[in-house]
Amino acid sequence: EGGIAPLVALVRDGTDSQKENAAGALGHLADGNDANRIAIAQEGGIAPLVALVRDGTDDQKENAAKALGRLADDNDANRIAIAQEGGIAPLVALVRDGTDDQKENAAKALGRLAHDNDANRIAIAQEGGIAPLVALVRDGTDDQKENAAKALGRLADDNDANRIAIAQEGGIAPLVALVRDGTDDQKENAAKALGRLAHDNDANRIAIAQEGGIAPLVALVRDGTFWQKVNAVEALGRLADDNDANGIAICAQEGWSL
Protein backbone atom coordinates (compact mmCIF):
# COMPACT_ATOMS: atom_id res chain seq x y z
CA GLU A 1 0.00 0.00 0.00
CA GLY A 2 3.03 2.30 0.24
CA GLY A 3 2.71 3.25 -3.40
CA ILE A 4 -0.89 4.38 -3.20
CA ALA A 5 -0.45 7.75 -1.48
CA PRO A 6 2.11 9.06 -3.99
CA LEU A 7 -0.08 7.88 -6.88
CA VAL A 8 -3.06 9.75 -5.42
CA ALA A 9 -0.85 12.84 -5.08
CA LEU A 10 0.09 12.57 -8.77
CA VAL A 11 -3.56 12.25 -9.81
CA ARG A 12 -4.25 15.42 -7.85
CA ASP A 13 -1.18 17.56 -8.57
CA GLY A 14 0.94 15.97 -11.29
CA THR A 15 1.60 16.95 -14.87
CA ASP A 16 -0.93 15.84 -17.46
CA SER A 17 1.02 12.69 -18.28
CA GLN A 18 1.57 11.92 -14.59
CA LYS A 19 -2.15 12.32 -13.88
CA GLU A 20 -3.03 10.02 -16.79
CA ASN A 21 -0.51 7.34 -15.80
CA ALA A 22 -1.29 7.53 -12.08
CA ALA A 23 -5.01 7.16 -12.74
CA GLY A 24 -4.23 4.11 -14.86
CA ALA A 25 -2.05 2.68 -12.11
CA LEU A 26 -4.74 3.17 -9.46
CA GLY A 27 -7.19 1.41 -11.76
CA HIS A 28 -4.84 -1.56 -12.05
CA LEU A 29 -4.35 -1.67 -8.27
CA ALA A 30 -8.12 -1.59 -7.67
CA ASP A 31 -8.85 -4.35 -10.18
CA GLY A 32 -10.06 -7.37 -8.20
CA ASN A 33 -8.35 -6.22 -4.99
CA ASP A 34 -10.64 -4.91 -2.28
CA ALA A 35 -7.83 -4.07 0.14
CA ASN A 36 -6.42 -1.72 -2.48
CA ARG A 37 -9.87 -0.29 -3.20
CA ILE A 38 -10.23 0.55 0.48
CA ALA A 39 -6.72 1.99 0.69
CA ILE A 40 -7.17 4.21 -2.37
CA ALA A 41 -10.34 5.65 -0.85
CA GLN A 42 -8.67 6.15 2.53
CA GLU A 43 -5.80 8.01 0.88
CA GLY A 44 -8.28 10.43 -0.68
CA GLY A 45 -8.08 9.03 -4.19
CA ILE A 46 -11.73 9.30 -5.14
CA ALA A 47 -12.08 13.09 -5.33
CA PRO A 48 -9.14 13.68 -7.71
CA LEU A 49 -10.28 10.81 -9.93
CA VAL A 50 -13.73 12.38 -10.13
CA ALA A 51 -12.07 15.69 -11.00
CA LEU A 52 -10.22 14.01 -13.88
CA VAL A 53 -13.42 12.46 -15.21
CA ARG A 54 -14.97 15.92 -15.16
CA ASP A 55 -12.13 18.13 -16.38
CA GLY A 56 -9.26 15.99 -17.62
CA THR A 57 -7.81 15.28 -21.04
CA ASP A 58 -9.42 12.49 -23.05
CA ASP A 59 -6.87 9.93 -21.84
CA GLN A 60 -7.20 11.11 -18.24
CA LYS A 61 -10.98 10.82 -18.44
CA GLU A 62 -10.73 7.32 -19.89
CA ASN A 63 -8.34 6.08 -17.19
CA ALA A 64 -10.15 7.80 -14.33
CA ALA A 65 -13.52 6.40 -15.39
CA LYS A 66 -12.02 2.91 -15.48
CA ALA A 67 -10.46 3.44 -12.04
CA LEU A 68 -13.73 4.65 -10.51
CA GLY A 69 -15.54 1.65 -11.94
CA ARG A 70 -13.01 -0.68 -10.35
CA LEU A 71 -13.17 1.17 -7.03
CA ALA A 72 -16.97 0.71 -7.05
CA ASP A 73 -16.80 -3.00 -7.87
CA ASP A 74 -18.23 -4.97 -4.92
CA ASN A 75 -17.50 -2.09 -2.53
CA ASP A 76 -20.54 -0.17 -1.34
CA ALA A 77 -18.58 2.31 0.76
CA ASN A 78 -16.77 3.40 -2.40
CA ARG A 79 -20.02 3.51 -4.39
CA ILE A 80 -21.38 5.92 -1.80
CA ALA A 81 -18.17 7.97 -1.71
CA ILE A 82 -17.98 8.31 -5.51
CA ALA A 83 -21.55 9.61 -5.55
CA GLN A 84 -20.88 11.99 -2.66
CA GLU A 85 -17.85 13.39 -4.48
CA GLY A 86 -20.05 14.19 -7.48
CA GLY A 87 -18.89 11.34 -9.68
CA ILE A 88 -22.20 10.38 -11.24
CA ALA A 89 -22.86 13.45 -13.41
CA PRO A 90 -19.47 13.45 -15.18
CA LEU A 91 -19.71 9.69 -15.79
CA VAL A 92 -23.15 10.20 -17.36
CA ALA A 93 -21.63 12.96 -19.49
CA LEU A 94 -18.96 10.54 -20.74
CA VAL A 95 -21.56 7.92 -21.64
CA ARG A 96 -23.40 10.58 -23.62
CA ASP A 97 -20.55 12.49 -25.28
CA GLY A 98 -17.27 10.68 -24.71
CA THR A 99 -14.94 8.77 -26.97
CA ASP A 100 -15.70 5.10 -27.54
CA ASP A 101 -13.33 4.01 -24.75
CA GLN A 102 -14.71 6.66 -22.39
CA LYS A 103 -18.27 5.53 -23.11
CA GLU A 104 -17.34 1.90 -22.49
CA ASN A 105 -15.57 2.63 -19.19
CA ALA A 106 -18.21 5.06 -17.93
CA ALA A 107 -21.06 2.66 -18.71
CA LYS A 108 -19.28 -0.05 -16.73
CA ALA A 109 -18.69 2.37 -13.86
CA LEU A 110 -22.34 3.43 -13.74
CA GLY A 111 -23.42 -0.20 -13.69
CA ARG A 112 -21.16 -0.86 -10.73
CA LEU A 113 -22.35 2.28 -8.93
CA ALA A 114 -25.97 1.13 -9.39
CA HIS A 115 -25.32 -2.37 -8.06
CA ASP A 116 -27.24 -2.91 -4.81
CA ASN A 117 -27.43 0.86 -4.24
CA ASP A 118 -30.82 2.45 -4.82
CA ALA A 119 -29.67 5.99 -4.01
CA ASN A 120 -27.20 5.72 -6.88
CA ARG A 121 -29.83 4.19 -9.18
CA ILE A 122 -32.04 7.19 -8.50
CA ALA A 123 -29.16 9.65 -8.95
CA ILE A 124 -28.04 8.12 -12.27
CA ALA A 125 -31.59 8.43 -13.60
CA GLN A 126 -31.93 12.00 -12.31
CA GLU A 127 -28.67 12.95 -14.04
CA GLY A 128 -30.08 11.71 -17.34
CA GLY A 129 -28.15 8.47 -17.50
CA ILE A 130 -30.85 6.20 -18.88
CA ALA A 131 -31.20 7.63 -22.40
CA PRO A 132 -27.48 7.48 -23.29
CA LEU A 133 -27.22 3.94 -21.90
CA VAL A 134 -30.16 2.89 -24.08
CA ALA A 135 -28.41 4.53 -27.03
CA LEU A 136 -25.28 2.46 -26.33
CA VAL A 137 -27.30 -0.77 -26.18
CA ARG A 138 -28.79 0.14 -29.55
CA ASP A 139 -25.81 1.57 -31.43
CA GLY A 140 -22.64 1.01 -29.41
CA THR A 141 -19.61 -1.18 -29.91
CA ASP A 142 -19.83 -4.74 -28.62
CA ASP A 143 -18.20 -3.81 -25.30
CA GLN A 144 -20.39 -0.72 -24.95
CA LYS A 145 -23.51 -2.80 -25.59
CA GLU A 146 -22.42 -5.39 -23.02
CA ASN A 147 -21.67 -2.79 -20.33
CA ALA A 148 -24.76 -0.68 -21.01
CA ALA A 149 -27.07 -3.70 -20.91
CA LYS A 150 -25.64 -4.65 -17.52
CA ALA A 151 -26.02 -1.08 -16.28
CA LEU A 152 -29.66 -0.89 -17.37
CA GLY A 153 -30.37 -4.18 -15.62
CA ARG A 154 -28.89 -2.85 -12.42
CA LEU A 155 -30.79 0.44 -12.74
CA ALA A 156 -34.03 -1.55 -13.11
CA ASP A 157 -33.34 -3.77 -10.09
CA ASP A 158 -35.97 -3.06 -7.42
CA ASN A 159 -36.69 0.37 -8.91
CA ASP A 160 -39.98 0.69 -10.76
CA ALA A 161 -39.46 4.33 -11.74
CA ASN A 162 -36.33 3.27 -13.61
CA ARG A 163 -38.12 0.28 -15.16
CA ILE A 164 -40.72 2.68 -16.53
CA ALA A 165 -38.09 5.17 -17.70
CA ILE A 166 -36.02 2.53 -19.51
CA ALA A 167 -39.12 1.39 -21.38
CA GLN A 168 -40.12 4.98 -22.20
CA GLU A 169 -36.64 5.65 -23.58
CA GLY A 170 -37.04 2.73 -25.97
CA GLY A 171 -34.79 0.32 -24.10
CA ILE A 172 -36.80 -2.86 -24.53
CA ALA A 173 -36.38 -3.41 -28.29
CA PRO A 174 -32.56 -3.15 -28.33
CA LEU A 175 -32.30 -5.43 -25.28
CA VAL A 176 -34.46 -8.01 -27.08
CA ALA A 177 -32.18 -7.64 -30.11
CA LEU A 178 -29.15 -8.41 -27.93
CA VAL A 179 -30.82 -11.51 -26.49
CA ARG A 180 -31.47 -12.65 -30.04
CA ASP A 181 -28.25 -11.73 -31.84
CA GLY A 182 -25.66 -10.57 -29.31
CA THR A 183 -22.40 -12.01 -28.07
CA ASP A 184 -22.59 -14.47 -25.18
CA ASP A 185 -22.00 -11.75 -22.59
CA GLN A 186 -24.49 -9.41 -24.27
CA LYS A 187 -27.12 -12.14 -24.27
CA GLU A 188 -26.48 -12.88 -20.59
CA ASN A 189 -26.70 -9.22 -19.55
CA ALA A 190 -29.70 -8.40 -21.73
CA ALA A 191 -31.67 -11.40 -20.49
CA LYS A 192 -30.98 -10.28 -16.91
CA ALA A 193 -32.09 -6.74 -17.76
CA LEU A 194 -35.34 -7.92 -19.37
CA GLY A 195 -36.12 -10.01 -16.31
CA ARG A 196 -35.66 -7.01 -14.06
CA LEU A 197 -37.75 -4.81 -16.35
CA ALA A 198 -40.56 -7.38 -16.21
CA HIS A 199 -40.51 -7.68 -12.42
CA ASP A 200 -43.77 -6.35 -10.95
CA ASN A 201 -44.44 -4.29 -14.09
CA ASP A 202 -47.17 -5.56 -16.38
CA ALA A 203 -46.75 -2.83 -18.98
CA ASN A 204 -43.16 -3.97 -19.46
CA ARG A 205 -44.20 -7.63 -19.54
CA ILE A 206 -46.59 -6.79 -22.38
CA ALA A 207 -44.01 -4.65 -24.19
CA ILE A 208 -41.28 -7.31 -24.00
CA ALA A 209 -43.66 -9.83 -25.54
CA GLN A 210 -44.76 -7.37 -28.22
CA GLU A 211 -41.13 -6.69 -29.12
CA GLY A 212 -40.62 -10.41 -29.71
CA GLY A 213 -38.70 -11.11 -26.53
CA ILE A 214 -40.21 -14.47 -25.62
CA ALA A 215 -38.79 -16.59 -28.47
CA PRO A 216 -35.12 -15.58 -28.00
CA LEU A 217 -35.41 -16.04 -24.22
CA VAL A 218 -36.81 -19.54 -24.75
CA ALA A 219 -33.93 -20.20 -27.17
CA LEU A 220 -31.45 -19.21 -24.43
CA VAL A 221 -33.11 -21.58 -21.97
CA ARG A 222 -32.71 -24.34 -24.52
CA ASP A 223 -29.24 -23.67 -25.89
CA GLY A 224 -27.54 -20.96 -23.83
CA THR A 225 -24.61 -20.96 -21.46
CA PHE A 226 -25.26 -21.67 -17.78
CA TRP A 227 -25.77 -18.00 -16.84
CA GLN A 228 -27.76 -17.26 -19.98
CA LYS A 229 -30.10 -20.08 -18.98
CA VAL A 230 -30.36 -18.84 -15.40
CA ASN A 231 -31.18 -15.29 -16.50
CA ALA A 232 -33.57 -16.37 -19.25
CA VAL A 233 -35.49 -18.70 -16.93
CA GLU A 234 -35.84 -15.87 -14.42
CA ALA A 235 -36.98 -13.47 -17.15
CA LEU A 236 -39.57 -15.90 -18.52
CA GLY A 237 -40.90 -16.53 -15.03
CA ARG A 238 -41.36 -12.82 -14.50
CA LEU A 239 -42.95 -12.37 -17.93
CA ALA A 240 -45.51 -15.06 -17.07
CA ASP A 241 -46.22 -13.73 -13.58
CA ASP A 242 -49.87 -12.56 -13.51
CA ASN A 243 -49.86 -12.51 -17.31
CA ASP A 244 -51.71 -15.44 -18.88
CA ALA A 245 -51.05 -14.31 -22.45
CA ASN A 246 -47.30 -14.47 -21.87
CA GLY A 247 -47.60 -17.81 -20.11
CA ILE A 248 -49.45 -19.23 -23.09
CA ALA A 249 -46.91 -17.74 -25.51
CA ILE A 250 -43.99 -19.23 -23.57
CA CYS A 251 -45.61 -22.66 -23.57
CA ALA A 252 -46.38 -22.38 -27.28
CA GLN A 253 -42.69 -21.80 -27.98
CA GLU A 254 -41.92 -25.10 -26.32
CA GLY A 255 -44.89 -26.93 -27.78
CA TRP A 256 -46.50 -27.23 -24.37
CA SER A 257 -50.05 -26.38 -23.34
CA LEU A 258 -51.33 -24.92 -20.09
- Which pTM was predicted? 0.97
CATH, range 130-258: 1.25.10.10
Query: Candidates 1.25.10.10, 3.30.70.270, 1.10.580.10, 3.40.47.10; correct CATH number of 1-128?
Result: 1.25.10.10
How far is 206 from 254, CA to CA, in rounded Å? 19
Same fold, 1-128 and 130-258: yes
Q: Give phi and psi for 57, each to the nearest 5.
A: -70, 170
Comparing CA positions, the residue from 152, 145, 183 lying closest to residue 168 is 152
Enumerate the domain spans of the chain.
1-128, 130-258
Tens-digit pLDDT profile for the chain (258 aa)? 489 999 999 999 999 999 999 999 999 999 999 999 999 999 999 999 999 999 999 999 999 999 999 999 999 999 999 999 999 999 999 999 999 999 999 999 999 999 999 999 999 999 999 999 999 999 999 999 999 999 999 999 999 999 999 999 999 999 999 999 999 999 999 999 999 999 999 999 999 999 999 999 999 999 999 999 999 999 999 999 999 999 999 999 877 655
Residue 113's contacts (CB-CB under 8 Å, 6 or more residues apart) are 72, 79, 82, 83, 87, 88, 91, 120, 124
